[in-house]
Amino acid sequence: MLINAGVTHLYPPWLDRLREGGRLVLPLTVAMGATLGEGVVAKITREGDAFLAQAITFVAIYSCTSLRDPQLEPLLGKAIGSGALLKLKSVRRDPHTPADTCLLHGELCLSSAEPVAIREA
């Protein structure tokens, strides 16, 4: 799945629709103008119930106006500016408290931790 407009966060249905081994490539960006964003392109691969993730390259691209969160934007900007987002290794969907490995903590957490499958009780 290729997302070709910059977003501040992942859209959960994208992950839901990935099959085993499926890949999602998307630009995670902060605003650099009214319609443009800059950030990094991330690749996310489904491995069972876990999501392996990595930052691929820097990008400047048009923004996706429907998937921009003004509260997440400064946090994403900090993760991009500090280089922390380049340590991206997984997307966490499990409920957890913020940890040192959380690069952008939210409903879908961008993390530097190795991917872990979610186990249903």
Boundaries of domain holding 55: 12-111
- Give the count of beta carbons closer than 10 Å to the beta carbon of residue 56: 13
Q: Quick one: CA torsion of 56, 23, 47, 115, rounded to 10 degrees?
A: 30
> Do the domain assignments include residue 6?
no
Q: What is the pTM of this model?
A: 0.85
**Is 1 among the domain residues?**
no
pLDDT in tens, 70-111: 999 999 999 999 999 999 999 999 999 999 999 999 889 999
* Number of domains composing the chain: 1
Q: Which tens digit of pLDDT belongs to each residue from 47-77?
A: 999 999 999 999 999 999 899 999 999 999 9
Residue 111 and residue 38: Cα distance in Å, rounded?
20
User: Is residue 120 domain-resident?
Assistant: no
Is residue 116 situated within a structural domain? Answer: no
pLDDT of residue 30: 96
Inside any domain, residue 20:
yes
